[in-house]
Amino acid sequence: MARQKTHIDQGYSWVVLSAAFGIQFLVGMLIFNVGAITSAILEEIDSDLTRTSWVGATLNATITLLGPFVGIFNRKFGARVTTCVGGLITFSGLTAASFARTVPGLIGTYSLLSGCGFALSVNVAGSVPGHYFEKKRPIAFAVSMSGGGCGMFLGAPLIRYLLETYNLSGTILILGALSFHICVVGLIIRPQDSKGAETANGSCEELPVKCTKYQSELCGSDSSLVLKSESKRLMGDEDTNIDEKHQPEANMFTKDDIESKWTIQKASSQLSDDVSANALDRTESWENTKCKLLQTHFSNAMRSGFLLYVVSILFWSIGESSCYLHLPNYAASKGNSPTDSSTLFTIMGIMNVISKLLAGFAATDPAIGYYLLHMGTLGMGGLITLVFPLMSNHFYLQCIYAAIFGLQMGGPNSLLSPITIDLIGLSAIEVGFGMLLFSFGIGFLVGAPLASTIFEVSGEYDYTFVFAGLCLILASVCGALLPMFKGRNSSHGGQSSESQHDLETACLT
């Protein structure tokens, strides 16, 4: 029977979207301005740049590499519990970090502990809009993702003011108090009721219930009651309403009666053992069925090309991290001042937010679709990065590159969750989004060292940007192959009805 959709694309869905935007805003304000915190650490705690840089690097690695694990946690306990737990862990980590006076202490508290809380919160913000939106899903994810950019812009002057007024310790303590509002925002995300289903995308969540009912029909309580009643009747334990005057005769047994009852009792015990063994066999069969369901999910991911999408994300993160890391030094080598270099990132950030919103609206057009946007934006970003060494001698040309690059790199962020839902289904969005974050983490950890090695070998930043451009083009090529695996380029994701039917058949067989 079709499930109702009382909170899809309307009503409370927008309240949930505001909560996702708020989570992204708070997380973006706290993690995207880690550079200002690093500068304060250099001034107040440790002047070694190599050691202090591990604080920000460990924070980003913790958030991204824990993606699959926090996805499983979110899938099991729900968005509200996951967000509140993430807010509490972040609050605890930042509060403890305000008392740290060494770099290892900051890594353990600010980077690792609060990073775990950030990871939980980011997974919710990147997955929960998919459960409340269907037709407007790309726009919903675009609005949610833009919250991180807004937090970055508004958080930068706030953190600078706090550092000038309260120094590093007081600033981190106040940021910890702000992070506690993640719990408040998470409480808005109430669990969906049984009538308000996630969507009609074919989740497999109801299959265990169906299988359990199927088992109960075969070896349920009715048959047990019948067996128990029959045993009592045969053994003479059932009340037969015998008159008291006939009770002595009823209690008199002959040798044949005793042997007969003993035979009946043994047969009844054997029958009970057979039923118990049958129920045990069915339980083991159900355990095997659950394994088959997991194998089905994995095979669906393989067939749909989700792993290819993960590879595309890997190349994308390698190329993007190389650009972000070496752009300030490259601009400085061309004679730019530090103010000019920061201006490039400001332009890039503004265009990034605009790009996320534009991509969300464009993805609602069935003639465009998710994969075309993903392929086109990454391809254009790769091409402009390849030719950037030819246009880097003048500051205004560098500003043009920053604007185009930011405009191209923001769009794919809004498509992460919609593409994941389209490839593997809404029921696996939490774990799928976590795998994408893990791929991002690997890319950011590998991309920067590879780009630095290329610079050390060649002695020029030009080859570094050529390497970054090629990685982005490879990411675009992987995105172009996704429709071949999926078999369709739909603007509305989810598992097909045939896939759902196959899962039900596997469960009931």
**Separation CA 349–CA 32 (nearest Å):** 11
Are 186 and 291 in a shared domain? no
Residue at 217 is within a domain: no
Is 5 a residue whose pLDDT tops 70?
no
**Domain membership of residue 390 as a residue range:** 287-509
Helix (H) or strand (E) holding 378: helix 369-386
Give the pLDDT score at 382.
92
pLDDT average, residue stretch 300-308: 69
Give the pLDDT score at 247.
44
**Separation CA 237–CA 443 (nearest Å):** 73
Give the pLDDT score at 256.
54
Give the pLDDT score at 285.
55
Residue at 406 is within a domain: yes
Q: Are 312 and 478 in contact (CB under 8 A)?
A: yes
Residue at 41 is within a domain: yes
Mean pLDDT of the chain: 75
Q: What is the DSSP string of 123-140?
A: HHHHHTHHHH-STTHHHH
Q: What is the DSSP string of 185-198?
A: HHHHSPPPPSSS-S
pTM of the complete model = 0.69
Which of 55-64, 252-261, 298-307, 436-445 is predicted least confidently? 252-261
Per-residue CA distances from 388 to 92, 313, 461 (Å): 44, 22, 11
**Separation CA 35–CA 355 (nearest Å):** 24
Q: What is the pLDDT of residues 382-394, one digit of tens each?
A: 999 999 988 878 8
Last residue of some domain: 159, 190, 221?
190
Give the residue with greater pLDDT, 235 vs 330.
330
Confidence of residue 276 (pLDDT cuts 50, 70, 90): low
**Separation CA 334–CA 317 (nearest Å):** 25
Out of 263-267, 325-329, 372-376, give the one with best mean pLDDT.
372-376
Is 458 a residue whose pLDDT tops 60?
yes
Which of 32-46, 60-74, 105-119, 173-187 is predicted least confidently? 32-46
Give the residue with greater pLDDT, 35 vs 218.
35
Q: At 486, is the secondary structure helix, strand, or coil?
A: helix
Residue at 344 is within a domain: yes
Confidence of residue 135 (pLDDT cuts 50, 70, 90): confident
The type of residue at 277 is: A
Q: In this structure, what token pair is assigned to residue 24?
A: 């992204």
Give the pLDDT score at 301.
52
Last residue of some domain: 149, 172, 190?
190
Q: In this structure, what token pair is assigned to residue 137?
A: 């899903």
Per-residue CA distances from 55 to 30, 102, 317, 491 (Å): 13, 11, 20, 40
pLDDT average, residue stretch 124-142: 87
Are 312 and 166 in a shared domain? no
Confidence of residue 95 (pLDDT cuts 50, 70, 90): very high
Q: Are 388 and 466 in contact (CB under 8 A)?
A: no
Residue at 439 is within a domain: yes
Is 86 a residue whose pLDDT tops 60?
yes
Is 336 a residue whose pLDDT tops 80?
no
Share of the chain above pLDDT 70, in %: 71
Residue at 243 is within a domain: no
CATH number at residue 130: 1.20.1250.20
Are 318 and 448 in a shared domain? yes
Confidence of residue 220 (pLDDT cuts 50, 70, 90): very low
Are 170 and 296 in a shared domain? no
Give the pLDDT score at 457.
85
Is 471 a residue whose pLDDT tops 90?
yes
Residue at 16 is within a domain: yes
Are 161 and 296 in a shared domain? no
**Separation CA 262–CA 235 (nearest Å):** 9
Give the residue with greater pLDDT, 415 vs 205.
415
Give the pLDDT score at 424.
85
Are 302 and 178 in a shared domain? no
Q: Are 385 and 469 in contact (CB under 8 A)?
A: yes
Return the closest-CA partner of residue 129 out of 253, 43, 236, 15: 15
Residue 208, by phi and psi: left (phi above 0), alpha (psi -120 to 50) or beta? Answer: alpha
Give the pLDDT score at 410.
84
Q: At 461, is the secondary structure helix, strand, or coil?
A: coil
Is 156 a residue whose pLDDT tops 50?
yes
Are 306 and 186 in a shared domain? no
Is 310 a residue whose pLDDT tops 50?
yes
pLDDT average, residue stretch 363-380: 87
Give the pLDDT score at 148.
83
Counting beta carbons within 10 angstroms of the beta carbon of residue 101, is it exposed (0 to 12), middle (13 to 18) or buried (19 or more)?
exposed
Confidence of residue 270 (pLDDT cuts 50, 70, 90): low
Give the residue with greater pLDDT, 263 vs 490.
263
Give the pLDDT score at 288.
57
pLDDT average, residue stretch 197-219: 41
Confidence of residue 120 (pLDDT cuts 50, 70, 90): very high
Per-residue CA distances from 101 to 57, 59, 98, 126, 457 (Å): 19, 17, 8, 34, 38
Q: What domain count does the chain have?
A: 2
Return the closest-CA partner of residue 335 out of 382, 381, 280, 397: 397
**Separation CA 149–CA 161 (nearest Å):** 19
Residue at 4 is within a domain: no
The type of residue at 89 is: I
pLDDT average, residue stretch 315-343: 81
Is 98 a residue whose pLDDT tops 80?
yes
Are 175 and 296 in a shared domain? no
Last residue of some domain: 158, 175, 190?
190
Return the closest-CA partner of residue 363 out of 63, 45, 51, 142: 142
pLDDT average, residue stretch 132-152: 85
Residue 78 CB: number of other CB atoms within 10 A?
17
Q: What proportions of the chain, in percent to the nearest 5, are helix, strand and coil?
A: 80, 0, 20
Give the pLDDT score at 172.
93
Q: What is the pLDDT of residues 32-80, one digit of tens each?
A: 777 778 778 888 888 776 788 788 878 888 888 898 899 889 888 989 9
Give the pLDDT score at 136.
84
